[in-house]
Amino acid sequence: MILQVKDLEVYYGSIRALQGISFYVEKGEIVTLIGANGAGKSTTLRTISGLLIPRQGEIYFQGQKINRTPAHQIVRMGISHVPEGRQIFPNLTVMENLLMGAYTRRNRSEVQESLEEVLNRFPRLRERAKQLAGTLSGGEQQMLAMGRGLMSKPTLLILDEPSMGLSPLLVEEIFEIIKNINQQGTTVLLVEQNAYMALQIAHRAYVLETGRIVLSGTSAEIQANPQIRSAYLGEVEEGA
């Protein structure tokens, strides 16, 4: 088991955002968290990556407890978080943004190797290496955010809403890339508003509602659930 979250409780002031959630991710999986806005999906990711400190509960990464570990150390340990809204550096070039993703790594030849891998995976970033990141299209910015995330050579890649604001064609492309990253050995934890696409590529899924996990199972099981189909997949139950 690569990641284990146990009884996690997170508060924003007096508001309880996560109400004792528990889940796990096995090495080599794509696991997706789905749910409506405000369900606690992004809060979960931010807590795993050290940006928020839980009031209660534990997070284990490869058997090591990390819930009080600073975010930069969590990156060094092998977790990379690609945040919602991309959060690239618009006034830096594509190349500078990518190199920022390797800030925890000291071996220059290994960084260069990772850079080549990322540029091979995202040819458009190679074409635009000297361009300011803020001038890229939305799809290119998402590729840059994912490329920057891969520059730390993560064991676990955390993606928060990678398809947000993208055209259907680009959404297909981004999900194909995520599948490919996983097939090449990186475990993925995915939060995605587009539940249909997330369930197409994920091995397992957890459904969050108001800070609680209300359902879990394989992607096929979740997709077959009538309530999930009507709530998240845009399908209306017969006779409804």
48 & 139 share domain = no
Structure tokens at 11: 């508060």
Contact 122, 143 (CB under 8 A): yes
131 & 166 share domain = no
Q: What is the three-class DSSP state of 237?
A: coil
Q: What is the pLDDT of residue 166?
A: 86
235 & 217 share domain = yes
CB atoms within 10 A of CB 224: 11
Structure tokens at 12: 């924003």
Q: What is the three-class DSSP state of 159?
A: strand
Q: What is the pLDDT of residue 234?
A: 66
CB atoms within 10 A of CB 120: 10
CATH for 183: 3.40.50.300
104, 134, 152 - which closes a domain:
152
166 & 240 share domain = yes
What type of residue sits at position 154? P
107 & 214 share domain = no
148 & 158 share domain = no
59 & 159 share domain = yes
Q: What is the pLDDT of residue 235?
A: 55
Residues 80-105 pLDDT 10s: 999 887 789 999 999 999 999 998 88
Contacts 24+ apart (CB under 8 A), 178-183: 178/30, 179/30, 180/121, 181/121, 181/146, 181/150, 181/157, 182/28, 182/29, 182/30
Q: Report the number of distinct structural domains present in the chain.
A: 2
Structure tokens at 221: 């099981």
Model-level pTM?
A: 0.91
What parts of the chain have a pLDDT lower than 50?
236-240
Q: What is the pLDDT of residue 52?
A: 94
Q: What is the pLDDT of residue 239?
A: 38
Contact 151, 99 (CB under 8 A): yes
Domain that holds residue 117: 87-152
Q: What is the pLDDT of residue 200?
A: 94
